[in-house]
A and B are shown apart, each in its own frame.
Chain A
Amino acid sequence: MVNELPDLIKEDQRYNLHAHPERPSNYNLVFVFPNWAPPLEVNIDKKQILSDLAKLGIKL
């Protein structure tokens, strides 16, 4: 697939894909633990994820 610029612009508009940084409104540190959870729109069974993580000794 040829990554033509107009295609990329369309993709950006459709999915908001361009990974540019945004200017923060303040400089307080915000971390979210853990980061394993998939985006909500992904159809992955949460029980399955918890089970897989439990096999690793990780309880959430």
Chain B
Amino acid sequence: MKYYHHAGMTPTMKNPDYMYNVFDRTRAMINIPQIECITPIGQAVEPKSLEELCYNSAQNIVSQAVSKKIYVTWSGGIDSTLVLSELLKIAPKSQLTVFMDNNSIKEYPEFYSKYIKGQLETRQMSFYTDDPLRVALKDGIVVTGHLIDPVFGANIYQVLPEEKLKQSIQDFLTEVDRLSFVKYTKLINACPRPLVNVKDLFWWMDYTLNYQSEQLMWLLEIEEMILDKNLFHFGAGEDWNNYAVSTPAEIKWPGYDFNYYKMEIKKHIQKFTGDENYTKNKLKMPSWRKYRTDQQRWQNKAVWITTDWKRGWLTP
């Protein structure tokens, strides 16, 4: 039996970052043969432009939806605003429904006023229950901004000082214990291009170790969901992965001012919205909050998912 997820086989990383259900997509540092990799890591190639990637993702989603509704989960953040902007370019407004809550409006009120309010159907997003998503699946597909995060960087960027982020890999490795040195080295050597500094390394760690867990979010809780059938992550697929691996960290996040993080995406959004203020001042916000306790979430999560998308549950 092969799995995409198995809580009994995948470790938790507790330091230096916190990651649940770590699956090393390179298999270089931690190899779990029973777990299948859903999407292989990218290759060092001449990547497609951000414009091409966005256009292709939007086209793919619209063609897969056929006549079904397209439910876009919009937090008001950079990634989900990109998704909605791209779909607004090619999908009829009558086909689009926005999953959102009041925090979405607070995060980007101008976008809500200009493109959503009175123009698109909206549904209340609730992170306390999956029921709204289950209802949506009856007549539509769900689209998220997921997987753009591990293409561009890592949440831990927010708490790492500039001097650490710019540290060379060689110097970084001199400060860790022997076992960590061996593990890091295996992972670093598995990258198709040379990693230049700690900023690059922490992107690579998130991209290789956390990607599949993020890809399976909601699929652990909602049995009716099947990846790339009725749940689509906008930043998924081979081309985005090639972009992730082939694009230097200094393009994804120029310098060390957090205002410039994901600048390429913000500039692309600006072409649609004309909103220069957003590009200059919008900061990455954590849209994924733990609205339920670990206890509540554990009770509703599948313990494993097989490669034919059967879920296994533990019953108390």
Q: Which residues of A contact B293 (CB under 8 A)?
A: 15, 17
- Decide: A42 and B126 in contact? CB cutoff 8 A: no
A48–B103 CA distance with the chains assembled, in angstroms = 41
A45–B314 CA distance with the chains assembled, in angstroms = 10
A25–B20 CA distance with the chains assembled, in angstroms = 20
Q: Which of B285-316 contact A (CB under 8 A)?
A: 286, 288-291, 293-295, 298-299, 303-304, 312, 314-316
A36–B176 CA distance with the chains assembled, in angstroms = 28
Q: Which of B157-185 contact A (CB under 8 A)?
A: 158-161, 172, 175-177, 179-180, 183-184
- Decide: A28 and B176 in contact? CB cutoff 8 A: yes
Q: Which residues of B contact A19 (CB under 8 A)?
A: 286, 288-290
From known contacts A3-B126, A21-B17, infer whether A31 and B12 are also in contact, taking CB-CB under 8 Å: yes
- Decide: B177 and A31 in contact? CB cutoff 8 A: no
Q: Which residues of B contact A53 (CB under 8 A)?
A: 8
Q: Number of B interface residues at 8 Å Cβ cutoff, please give it.
A: 57
Q: Which residues of B contact A34 (CB under 8 A)?
A: 7-11
Q: Is the interface of A mostly helix, strand, loop or mixed?
A: loop
Q: Which of A7-43 contact B (CB under 8 A)?
A: 8, 11, 15, 17-24, 26-36, 38-39, 41-43
B135 within 8 A of A: no
Closest residue of chain A to B164, judged by CB?
Answer: A27
A39–B161 CA distance with the chains assembled, in angstroms = 32
B64 within 8 A of A: no
* Residues of A in contact with B, size category: 35 or more
Please indicate which of the listed interface residues A4, A18, A33 has the most CB atoms of chain B within 10 Å of its own CB.
A33
CB within 8 Å of B: which residues of A?
Answer: 1-5, 8, 11, 15, 17-24, 26-36, 38-39, 41-45, 48-49, 52-53, 56, 58, 60
- Decide: A20 and B158 in contact? CB cutoff 8 A: yes
From known contacts A27-B176, A31-B22, infer whether A22 and B159 are also in contact, taking CB-CB under 8 Å: yes
Q: Which residues of B contact A43 (CB under 8 A)?
A: 316
Contact bitstring B110-137, A, C-beta under 8 A = 1, else 0:
0000000000000011111100000000
Closest residue of chain B to A18, judged by CB?
Answer: B289
- Decide: B17 and A2 in contact? CB cutoff 8 A: no
B33 within 8 A of A: no
Q: Which residues of A contact B26 (CB under 8 A)?
A: none
Selected A-B contacts with CB under 8 Å, 18 pairs: A2-B102, A3-B125, A11-B291, A18-B286, A21-B158, A24-B15, A26-B16, A26-B175, A29-B13, A31-B13, A32-B14, A33-B11, A34-B11, A35-B7, A35-B10, A44-B314, A52-B314, A60-B8
A5–B238 CA distance with the chains assembled, in angstroms = 38
Cβ 8 A contact of B303, one of A5, A31, A36, A42: A36
A1–B101 CA distance with the chains assembled, in angstroms = 9
- Decide: A17 and B11 in contact? CB cutoff 8 A: no
A49–B7 CA distance with the chains assembled, in angstroms = 12
Q: Which residues of B contact A39 (CB under 8 A)?
A: 294-295, 298
Task: Give B21 Cβ to nearest chain A Cβ, in Å.
Answer: 6
- Decide: B290 and A17 in contact? CB cutoff 8 A: yes
B90 within 8 A of A: no
- Known pairs A3-B103, A27-B16, A31-B13; list 14 more (Cβ under 8 Å): A3-B102, A5-B106, A15-B290, A20-B159, A27-B180, A28-B176, A29-B15, A32-B11, A34-B8, A34-B9, A34-B11, A49-B314, A53-B8, A56-B304
